[in-house]
Structure 1
């Protein structure tokens, strides 16, 4: 599996003029990698992820999956939203089974896959509960395994842990890593959280505040399962923090930045 982003640009019309959100962005994600798009809010991370998902077209450039152009959403790319996006009228089990039923898989195959995924996410015994009966962390795990249900080639996640508190976020990062280590699905995730990027990623693609320019494509050379300690971990954290601070400063100095907002 190979995902190629080739010279992608995105321009929106705003206030009677053009606003460039992404400018000439290129990178490659290979099979089994966990890659994070990292940068300040407004740098174009989510826009780029939605282009890769096929939710919107690029203004210029293209996205290819194994050499084939991405022009619309498809089962080869599953998407996990920040707000869970679970069907409230369906139980946990029904939510996870939904993509399998859409594929019209045999019932015994659906049930076997459901049991495996519930076990993977530590949700055994919760399959008959509705979303309003489970915690935010359980909702997020349900959303992740629903996305994994149909064995996508790429899992796209937009701030998947952004809707939970600090302690729950750390716990879910560990659970998400555990799920990923079992499945090894190729992942492309968006976050602006420094520690989340380091803890989960094999690579962190750092984007600038202006035009989504790639500032650095950094490999995270830490053993898995990850630990939040050690000199190298702290060096990564300090380096990403410095890059994020510099990117914020760049955004403030550009037209439409802090001075323009005052």
Structure 2
């Protein structure tokens, strides 16, 4: 499996004005990698993720999955939204079965996969509950395994832990890592949290605030499960924070220069 992002650009037109969100963004993701897109708000990371998913069309360039161009959503790409996006009228079981039904997976295989996923997420016995009866952590696990249900080649996650508080976020990061290690699906995740990026990722791609330029493609070669108190972990996090600070300062300087030129 290989995912290629080749010279992807995205331009939005508002009131006859062009706004370039992404310009000539390129990188590739290998099978089994957990890659995180990190950058300040508005840098285009979520836009890029939705283009990979097929929810939006690129203005230029292309997305290739196993050599085939991505033009629309498909079962080869699972998606986990920030707000979980579980169907409130469906039970845990029906939420997980839904993507398999849409893909016309045989009934016997569906049930077998359901039991596998419930075991992975430690949700046995919760099949008949509805989303409103679940804790935030349970909802996150259901959303994650629902996205895995159809055996996608790539799992795309848009700030999947963005809706929870700091303490719960760290607990859920540990749960998410544990779930991922059991399945090892290729992941591309969006976050603005440097610690989350270091904790979960094999690679962190840092994007600039303007046009989504790739400022750094940082490898995180720490043993799993990861120890936040480990010296190498702390060093990696500090290095990533330094890269982000430089990026933000550069963007601030560039914006100030443009403002002065406009006033001149």
The aligned runs of 1:170-189 (5 Å cut-off) are: 170-189=170-189
Paired with 1:105 and 1:58, the residues of 2 have a C-alpha distance of: 31
1:251 and 1:124 map into 2 onto residues whose CA distance is 49
Q: Structure 1: how far apart are the matches of 2:20 and 2:236?
A: 30
Cross-structure match for 2:126: 126
1:72 and 2:51 matched: no
The number of aligned residues is 259
Give the superposed CA RMSD.
Answer: 1.6
CA contact (8 A) 1:2 1:30 kept: yes
Q: Identify the residue that residue 84 of structure 1 maps to in structure 2.
A: 84
Aligned residue for 1:49? 49
Aligned partners of 2:101, 2:67: CA distance in 1, in Å?
Answer: 29
In structure 1, the residue matched to 2:229 is: 229
Gaps of 5+ in 2: none
TM-score, normalisation: structure 1:
0.95
C-alpha distance in structure 2 between counterparts of 1:57 and 1:104, whole Å:
27
Could you tell me which residue of structure 2 aligns to residue 166 of structure 1?
A: 166
Q: How far did 1:226 drift?
A: 1.1
CA distance in 2, matches of 1:93, 1:253: 52
Q: What is the CA-CA distance between 1:254 and the residue it aligns to?
A: 4.2
SS in 1 for 2:61: strand
Matches for 1:183-202 after TM superposition, within 5 Å: 183-202=183-202
Contact 2:222 2:233 in 1 (8 A): yes
Deviation at 1:240, TM superposition (A): 1.2
Distance in 2, Cα, partners of 1:199 & 1:3: 22
Q: C-alpha deviations, 1:98-133, integer Å up to 9, x for none?
A: 011112222222111111111111111111000001
Preserved contact between residue 46 and residue 158 of structure 2 (Cα < 8 Å): yes
Give, in angstroms, the shift of residue 255 of structure 1: 4.4
Cα 1:256–1:71 shift into 2, 3 Å:
farther
Unmatched 5+ stretches in structure 1 = none
1:212 aligned residue: 212
Please tell me whether the aligned partners of residues 75 and 103 of structure 2 are also in contact (alpha carbons under 8 angstroms). Answer: no
